[in-house]
Amino acid sequence: MEYDKLISVMRALALDAGAKIMEIYEADDFAVKVKSDASPVTEADEAADAIISAGLRAAFPEIALVTEEQATSHGETAQTFLIVDPLDGTKEFINRRGDFTVNIAYVEAGVPTRGVVYAPAKGRMFYTLADGTSVEEEGPFSMDAPGTLHPVRVAQPDNTALMVVASKSHRDQATDDYIGKYAVKDMTSAGSSLKFCLVATGEADLYPRLGRTMEWDTAAGHAVLAGAGGQVVRFEDHQPLSYGKAGFANPFFIALAPGVVLKGA
């Protein structure tokens, strides 16, 4: 893989898709449908998916592509592939809360190694560079060339005063009970894959997810966090979360800065 080309293409497609998403987001109204799994999908999801899928297939025709909005791709069995959630945080989008992202990632041998997370309504963009390290790009963003890049790195956690981030739309009692096992200094909530990015930047130390997610929800954020020195492990046994699983469904997981002393279930 030509990583320089990969990052350039992923960044440009995220910006292009983000612009289309914001065009629809700022309209007076937009169409919302319900998928077979009862989750919502909007015209923004579909428009962004069309932009990203076409761009990735043109640039990397030899690499398998998995995307949330194309069910035919969900039977893919490759362990090295591109994976896309064109609009992560659809509920945040529908409710006009701004915490939604464009997620594009590259998975190698079951491990997300490169990715971009773009939150167009927040004006924040995180991605891995060709060398695998992670940065946040300072806006305003240009399609022509990246702006100022700020390296991101996980914090050194204080286990007597942890910063925790949890889901905004999927918070439940089981999550609260688990967080209660830690000495927490402060908590914040965020939607979509921004939670991974908050751990990557040191704005949080711990993000537990005790709920349903799919690999396209997490791969890009996972790559950004890994490039910042962080980890994502399975909730049940604290082993690394892998990708390319049948059906692309994730188990419960914990994203963290190394140094956090994990508690058992």
The number of angstroms, rounded, from the C-alpha of 19 to the middle of its chain's C-alpha atoms is 18
Instruction: State how far the Cα of 123 lies from the Cα of 109, in Å rounded to an integer.
Output: 32
49 among the known binding-site residues?
no
Locate 181 and state its tokens: 């096992």
- Residue 148 assigned to a binding site: no
Quickly count: other Cβ atoms within 10 Å of residue 10's Cβ: 28
CB distance 59 to 5 below 8 Å: yes
158 is in an annotated binding site: no
**Spatial strand order in the sheet of 81-88:** 64-67, 81-88, 101-108, 111-119, 124-128, 134-137, 149-151
Whether 101 has a binding-site annotation, put simply, is: no
The annotation status of 28 as a binding-site residue, yes or no, is no
Say if residue 68 carries a ligand binding annotation.
yes
Instruction: Establish whether 89 is an annotated binding residue.
Output: yes
Q: Which of 224, 255, 240, 233 is nearest to 114 (CA)?
A: 224
- By residue count, the chain amounts to 265
Residues annotated within the binding site are 68, 85, 87-90, 217
Binding residue numbers for substrate? 68, 87-90, 217
Instruction: Return binding residues for Mg(2+).
Output: 68, 85, 87-88, 217
